[in-house]
Amino acid sequence: MRKKCTKIVIVCMSVLTLAACNDDEFSQDDFSQDDGDFTAVAPVPANLQSGMPEEKPKEMLSVADPTPPEVWLLSLYQQKPEHDPDRDVFYYQSLLDKILPHVHEDKRVVSNRLVQVTRQLADKGIKADQDELLVDFAHYLPAVNEKYVFGELIANYSNLRQQNIDHEQAMKTLFELI
């Protein structure tokens, strides 16, 4: 039985070897670009003709991103035209420290949700500011006795804002409902 298995393996390997030898190989000539019978699908956009565009700001902080959330929030704030040059990382750290004991998420997720909902509302033409949200959540959350899912709180805030409710009223309504 062993000899029979060995013969079968040898025959199979021989067949595979012969089959591989018959493959047509492509030469470099098959891919030459001297023909000149190809055209570009579209011209290069003007903003890319001089190199890569400016770096787009981060939409969210990934888990692998080593940037501390408070540093990221500060960098977003500093992009505003009338920012306070004296504001520092500790400002954001203290606000996040007031929120974190009352939510299940960590500061990276809280920061991401703040920025995400602000941008989503802005895309719908609703003025929202992540710094104002951060300040108000840091103000309201310490008054509650339970822990909440921050993602749900911010989603409910977003829903209220989309009902043509201003920021202050949306925050008051949100915390009256919880």
Which helix (H) or strand (E) is 159 found in, with range? helix 150-161
Residue 52: inside a domain, yes or no? Answer: no
Residue 78: inside a domain, yes or no? Answer: yes
Burial 164-176 (b: 16+ CB within 10 A, else e): ebebeebbeebbe
How is residue 56 written in tokens?
């787009």
Residue 123: inside a domain, yes or no? Answer: yes
Residue 75: inside a domain, yes or no? Answer: yes
3-class state of residue 26 by DSSP: coil
For residue 148, list its beta bridge partners.
103
pLDDT of residue 64: 83
pLDDT of residue 61: 82
pLDDT of residue 75: 93
Residue 27: inside a domain, yes or no? Answer: no
Residue 20: inside a domain, yes or no? Answer: no
Residue 53: inside a domain, yes or no? Answer: no
pLDDT of residue 117: 95
Q: Using alpha carbons, select from 82, 165, 164, 176 the residue that is nearest to residue 131.
A: 82
pLDDT of residue 28: 54
Where helices occur in 22-106 by DSSP H, the ranges are 46-49, 69-78, 89-99
The residue assigned the tokens 């903003």 is 47
The stretches in the chain having pLDDT less than 50 are 53, 56
Residue 124 is part of which domain span?
Answer: 63-178
Residue 31: inside a domain, yes or no? Answer: no
Number of domains in the chain: 1
Query: Residue 152's CB: how many other CB atoms inside 10 A?
Result: 13
CA atoms within 13 A on the CB side of 168: 0
pLDDT of residue 107: 94
pLDDT of residue 30: 54
